[in-house]
């Protein structure tokens, strides 16, 4: 069944009234794409038997595979299984293992199991059953003619492991290829600069290459499609190597790792300590570092110095510097980093000062002006940024990009200074 | 057109391949629900003319109102408008204002406008045009017989203001009622305690009352449906007042305000200063406070003391306290708050120390153990929490709930101490 097409049908009134966002459709679409199954439609409908039936019937006329989520619960509203089996003329039979598991589920929790709950032990005859580790409703797959329907429970905590561990392996039988992607993550270069340098690589059709930009970062997604994952990986390797050697340190990681994870990993492996002194980021930089488990072995000291008094009294930024250059200046950033290095005894200290807005901007120093400094015992570096478009609603973005730039400075210092 | 039904159709290959999650459907569903329009279906389809046409045609057969998002851009893939006008047999005409705005948009950015961009100035004859403040594609509404179709641009930054300011007022003509909700936000009580105290109020059918719990907070949603917003507000008032008087300070706000916004607002109005000393939250508490615009007038000093050395050297936590009681203790939290108060000269200082995991837990002191302290010049309060279920993946939740609890202590102190 090469070139299989699919529709994802999510059943649940909470979705169509807007109480929750439909994350299942995205999750399942990504997974199906990775094995070359083309998702053509997403549909959502409430727990209404007539409308649900109409949507499912319509889905079966236009796609080979229909994945239905929700409506497998114990209440009389939950009619997914009954509707589909009626449409496909498949009888429902009691599954002994599902029954045992449901009884066991209730026994362990010390609550009694109602007649309704036993409805969940009914499964389509000759169907493939996906037992539920995290709830009572089993999932299932049925085939009839050229149609395949997969039913999954609505709660994400039940759906995701069930899909990954059982439905996905089941679906692989219909696929003769794997689509694998890697993300190369850049920091310090703009999207257009990267596109220029990549040149004709961006036109490559196999593997494909696409650039994405978001809050100061750029990533390149490289994708290959081959009969197996191993072959796809091999097909991407030359392009990955080329890009790695073209961009060197402007690449901070591959796939999911964040800047703070890279910095903490590097600090731990080098047994180095980092400290922070923050003005406009107000604790965000320290928070990012300490969000990484194990950060307590490389981070001890972070100061949020949100006033001149604290910059002077706690970090030793000279009063004449604050007076002559103001708090938002490369000089203040420099002395903040020096002060944090001294107070902490760390190997690297990062400092951020700037205007996150919405208020406080001037024509000479608009909102989005940020100075960063990174000090080691030998040197101190300063970076100047002008972020945003001068709109009032960019406070969060400015703080976030400023903190990421500080992490990037630490990352580059760790890369370039083996003697630290 | 009482009891109007609606379908939301999102057009975009990026949605069906799972690159982005369909947040438009949720956003629009909530808004439509608020004026009594029943959303019955959500559909998504890629930028494929035949499939798009099929989905739109189907939507028009089963709902009075179809809201279509996306596919209004300048490329040949963008066919929403053309498809709908063809189906409804409405000719497209050039709109002079849309044309002027598109030309102006390009002029301001100093880039040249292509023939394709002018395609966006074509609008349905006799349609209602929603001009686009944040992009080039205008939105529009057309009516034919009993059908109404609204087309909106795909980018959220364009869609949301256009919908709120133009499409929503337009849609109100079809509605004879408004559904209004308020959220009462609690902190410091569990969901079941609140439910118990609310008693029979939770059974009320008009207005309705529903409880939601999330990361340490509980909120009660009160909803009423009336011909006008004013009547709905009046219908909710007695229940709102009853709940307010039942719970007093355990309610921290109504509707969208966060704990940090409440605390900063209260500090600013009282001209009070706050300071922080954080261990396990690692800067998150300071970050929350400084995320509120204007926080620089009530917050100057925040220390992240992630080691015993820093707690001792910077905050003056006595060495014998750290030795006898360890860093995670009510005594350490007490001295941390005292030290931050002294260093900062603030009116209130908050301190957090605890085990966020995943490592570091013991049988006596499991991951999730947190001590908080709040010091003023007169008193110091300490709060002890045991958060989470001892699973390894709760670091973010533990840090977040710990920071929220610290903010809640500040909030209660400000409420109860008029002399501060």
pLDDT digits (tens, 9 = 90+) for B84-116: 999 999 999 999 999 998 888 888 878 788 777
Cβ separation B17–A27 shorter than 8 A: no
Looking at the partner chain, which of A287, A309, A395 has a beta carbon nearest the beta carbon of B300? A309
- Among chain B residues, CA nearest to A51: B40
Looking at the partner chain, which of A21, A39, A287 has a beta carbon nearest the beta carbon of B282? A287
Q: Give residues with Cβ within 8 angstroms of B19, minimum separation 6.
A: none
Q: Which has the higher per-residue pLDDT, B306 or A257?
A: B306
Q: Give residues with Cβ within 8 angstroms of A12, minimum separation 6.
A: A20, A44, A46, A47, A69, A70, A71, A154
Name the A residues in 8-67 with CB < 8 Å from any B CB: 15-18, 20-23, 25-31, 33, 39-46, 48, 51, 54-55, 58, 62
pLDDT of residue B391: 66
In this structure, the number of other CB atoms found within 10 A of the CB of residue A282 comes to 28
pLDDT of residue B176: 85
Q: Please tell me the least confidently modeled range out of A243-252, B128-137, B282-291.
A: B128-137
Cβ separation A301–B307 shorter than 8 A: yes
Q: Do the strands B147-152 and B348-354 form a parallel or antiparallel pair, or are they unpaired?
A: unpaired
- pLDDT tier at A119, thresholds 50, 70, 90: confident
Report whether B278 contacts B352 (CB < 8 A).
yes
pLDDT in tens, A313-329: 999 999 999 999 999 99
When pLDDT is averaged across residues A7-19 and rounded to a whole number, the result is 93
Q: What is the rounded CA–CA span in Å between residue B263 and residue A377? A: 39
Distance from CA of B279 to the nearest CA of A (A): 9
Cβ separation A16–B41 shorter than 8 A: yes
Q: What is the rounded CA–CA span in Å between residue B221 and residue B219? A: 6
Can the peptide bond before residue A410 be classed as cis, meaning omega within 30 degrees of 0?
A: no
pLDDT in tens, B165-192: 999 999 998 888 888 899 999 999 988 8
Report whether B139 contacts B166 (CB < 8 A).
yes
Cβ separation B306–A300 shorter than 8 A: yes
Is residue B248 left, alpha or beta, with left meaning phi > 0 and alpha meaning psi from -120 to 50?
left
pLDDT of residue B118: 85
Q: Please tell me the least confidently modeled range out of B98-112, B334-348, B377-391.
A: B98-112
pLDDT of residue A134: 85
Name the A residues in 278-317 with CB < 8 Å from any B CB: 278, 281-287, 289-291, 293-296, 299-307, 309-310, 313-314
- pLDDT tier at A248, thresholds 50, 70, 90: very high
Cβ separation B306–A303 shorter than 8 A: no
Looking at the partner chain, which of A16, A40, A343 has a beta carbon nearest the beta carbon of B39? A16
pLDDT of residue A2: 52
Cβ separation B23–A21 shorter than 8 A: yes
Tell me whether A208 touches chain B (CB under 8 Å).
no
Residue B23 has pLDDT above 90, yes or no: yes
Instruction: Kindly list the residues from chain B whose CB atom is less than 8 angstroms away from the CB atom of residue A357.
Output: 293
When pLDDT is averaged across residues B241-268 and rounded to a whole number, the result is 95
Q: What angle do CA A19, A20, A25 make, to 5 degrees?
A: 145
- pLDDT tier at B138, thresholds 50, 70, 90: very high
- pLDDT tier at A44, thresholds 50, 70, 90: very high
Residue A220 has pLDDT above 90, yes or no: yes
Interface test with A, best of B36, B45, B283 (most A CBs within 10 A): B283
- Among chain B residues, CA nearest to A292: B395
pLDDT in tens, A29-41: 999 998 989 999 9
Instruction: Kindly list the residues from chain A whose CB atom is less than 8 angstroms away from the CB atom of residue B313.
Output: 343
Q: What is the rounded CA–CA span in Å between residue A80 and residue A61? A: 17
Encoding tokens for residue B206? 């008009």
| Angle of helix B330-344 versus helix B308-315 axis, rounded to 10 | 40
Cβ separation A16–B42 shorter than 8 A: yes
Interface test with B, best of A15, A18, A390 (most B CBs within 10 A): A18
Can the peptide bond before residue B207 be classed as cis, meaning omega within 30 degrees of 0?
A: yes
Q: What is the rounded CA–CA span in Å between residue B254 and residue A51? A: 37
Q: In sequence order, which ranges of A45-136 are alpha helices (DSSP H)?
A: 49-62, 80-87, 96-109, 115-118
- Among chain A residues, CA nearest to B41: A45
Q: What is the rounded CA–CA span in Å between residue B264 and residue B281? A: 19
Residue A103 has pLDDT above 70, yes or no: yes
Q: Give residues with Cβ within 8 angstroms of A87, minimum separation 6.
A: A53, A56, A57, A60
Residue whose token pair is 């609310």: B198
Q: Give residues with Cβ within 8 angstroms of B11, minimum separation 6.
A: B44, B45, B46, B47, B52, B68, B69, B70, B71, B80, B154
Q: How many residues does chain A have?
A: 420
Interface test with A, best of B282, B314, B358 (most A CBs within 10 A): B282
- pLDDT tier at A1, thresholds 50, 70, 90: very low
Q: What is the rounded CA–CA span in Å between residue B416 and residue B217? A: 21
Cβ separation B45–A41 shorter than 8 A: yes
Q: What is the rounded CA–CA span in Å between residue B405 and residue B284? A: 12
Looking at the partner chain, which of B27, B32, B302 has a beta carbon nearest the beta carbon of A304? B302
Cβ separation B22–A42 shorter than 8 A: yes
Distance from CA of A167 to the nearest CA of B (A): 18
Residue A392 has pLDDT above 80, yes or no: no
Its ipTM equals 0.81
pLDDT of residue A36: 87
Cβ separation A276–B314 shorter than 8 A: no
Dihedrals phi, psi of A119, to nearest 5 degrees: -55, -30
Residue B400 has pLDDT above 90, yes or no: yes
Cβ separation B16–A39 shorter than 8 A: yes
Distance from CA of A94 to the nearest CA of B (A): 32
Question: Percent of chain A, pLDDT > 90?
Answer: 75
Residue B341 has pLDDT above 50, yes or no: yes
Cβ separation A304–B286 shorter than 8 A: yes
Residue B224 has pLDDT above 50, yes or no: yes
Residue A123 has pLDDT above 60, yes or no: yes
Name the A residues in 133-192 with CB < 8 Å from any B CB: none
- Among chain A residues, CA nearest to B397: A291
Eight-state DSSP code of residue A297: G
- Among chain A residues, CA nearest to B24: A21
Tell me whether A359 touches chain B (CB under 8 Å).
yes
Distance from CA of B385 to the nearest CA of A (A): 20
Give the C-alpha distances (Å, rounded to integers) separating A339 from A217, A302, B106, B232. 29, 11, 48, 58
In this structure, the number of other CB atoms found within 10 A of the CB of residue B98 comes to 21
Q: Please tell me the least confidently modeled range out of A353-357, B72-76, B217-221.
A: B72-76
Cβ separation A287–B284 shorter than 8 A: yes
Q: Which has the higher per-residue pLDDT, A303 or A137?
A: A303
Residue whose token pair is 């649940």: A12
Tell me whether A69 touches chain B (CB under 8 Å).
no
Residue B1 has pLDDT above 50, yes or no: no
Q: If DSSP codes are grouped into helix, strand and coil, which group holds residue B377?
A: coil
Rg, Å, chain B Cα set: 28
Residue A312 has pLDDT above 90, yes or no: yes
When pLDDT is averaged across residues A8-33 and rounded to a whole number, the result is 94
Cβ separation B301–A304 shorter than 8 A: yes
Q: Give residues with Cβ within 8 angstroms of A33, minimum separation 6.
A: A39, A179, B17, B18
When pLDDT is averaged across residues B251-263 and rounded to a whole number, the result is 93
Distance from CA of B130 to the nearest CA of A (A): 23
pLDDT of residue B392: 66
Encoding tokens for residue B60? 């028009």
pLDDT of residue B244: 96
Interface size, chain A vs chain B, as Cβ–Cβ contacts under 8 Å? 220
Say how many CA atoms lie within 13 Å of B26 toward its Cβ: 12
Encoding tokens for residue A157? 């905590």
Cβ separation A44–B55 shorter than 8 A: no
Cβ separation A39–B23 shorter than 8 A: no
Residue whose token pair is 């533990």: B398
When pLDDT is averaged across residues B367-384 and rounded to a whole number, the result is 96
When pLDDT is averaged across residues A244-270 and rounded to a whole number, the result is 95
Dihedrals phi, psi of A21, to nearest 5 degrees: -90, 145
């Amino acid at each position: 069944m090469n070139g299989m097409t699919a529709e994802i049908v999510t059943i649940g009134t909470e979705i169509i009234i807007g109480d929750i966002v439909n994350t299942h459709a995205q999750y399942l679409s990504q997974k199906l794409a990775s094995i070359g199954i083309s998702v053509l439609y997403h549909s959502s409908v409430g727990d209404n038997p007539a409308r649900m039936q109409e949507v499912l019937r319509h889905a079966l006329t236009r796609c080979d595979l229909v994945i239905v989520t929700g409506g497998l619960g114990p209440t009389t509203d939950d009619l997914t299984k009954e509707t589909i089996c009626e449409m496909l003329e498949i009888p429902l039979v009691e599954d002994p293992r599902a029954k045992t598991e449901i009884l066991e589920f209730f026994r362990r929790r010390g609550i009694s199991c109602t007649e309704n709950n036993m409805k969940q032990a009914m499964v389509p005859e000759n169907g493939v059953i996906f037992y539920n580790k995290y709830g009572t409703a089993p999932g299932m797959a049925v085939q009839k003619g050229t149609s395949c329907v997969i039913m999954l429970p609505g709660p994400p905590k039940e759906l995701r492991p069930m899909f990954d561990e059982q439905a996905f392996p089941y679906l692989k039988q219909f696929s003769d290829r794997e689509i694998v992607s890697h993300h190369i993550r850049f920091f310090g270069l703009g999207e257009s600069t990267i596109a220029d340098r990549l040149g004709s690589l961006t036109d490559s059709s196999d593997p494909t290459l696409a650039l994405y930009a978001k809050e100061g970062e750029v990533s390149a997604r490289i994708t290959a499609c081959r009969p197996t994952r191993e072959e796809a990986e091999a097909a991407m390797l030359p392009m990955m190597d080329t890009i790695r050697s073209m961009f060197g340190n402007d690449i901070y990681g591959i796939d999911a790792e964040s800047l703070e994870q890279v910095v903490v990993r590097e600090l731990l492996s080098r047994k180095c300590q980092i400290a922070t002194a923050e003005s406009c980021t107000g604790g965000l930089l320290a928070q990012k570092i300490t969000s990484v488990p194990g950060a307590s072995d490389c981070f001890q000291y972070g100061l949020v110095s949100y006033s001149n008094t604290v910059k002077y009294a706690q970090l030793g930024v000279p009063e004449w510097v604050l007076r002559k250059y103001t708090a938002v200046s490369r000089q203040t950033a420099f002395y903040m980093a020096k002060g944090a290095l001294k107070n902490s005894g760390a190997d690297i200290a990062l400092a951020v000062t700037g205007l996150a807005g919405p208020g406080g901007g001037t024509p000479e120093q608009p909102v989005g002006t940020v100075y960063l400094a990174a000090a080691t015992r030998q040197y101190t570096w300063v970076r100047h940024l002008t972020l945003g478009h001068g709109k009032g609603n960019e406070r969060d973005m400015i703080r976030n990009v400023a903190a990421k730039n500080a992490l990037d400075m630490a990352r580059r210092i760790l890369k370039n200074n083996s003697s630290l």
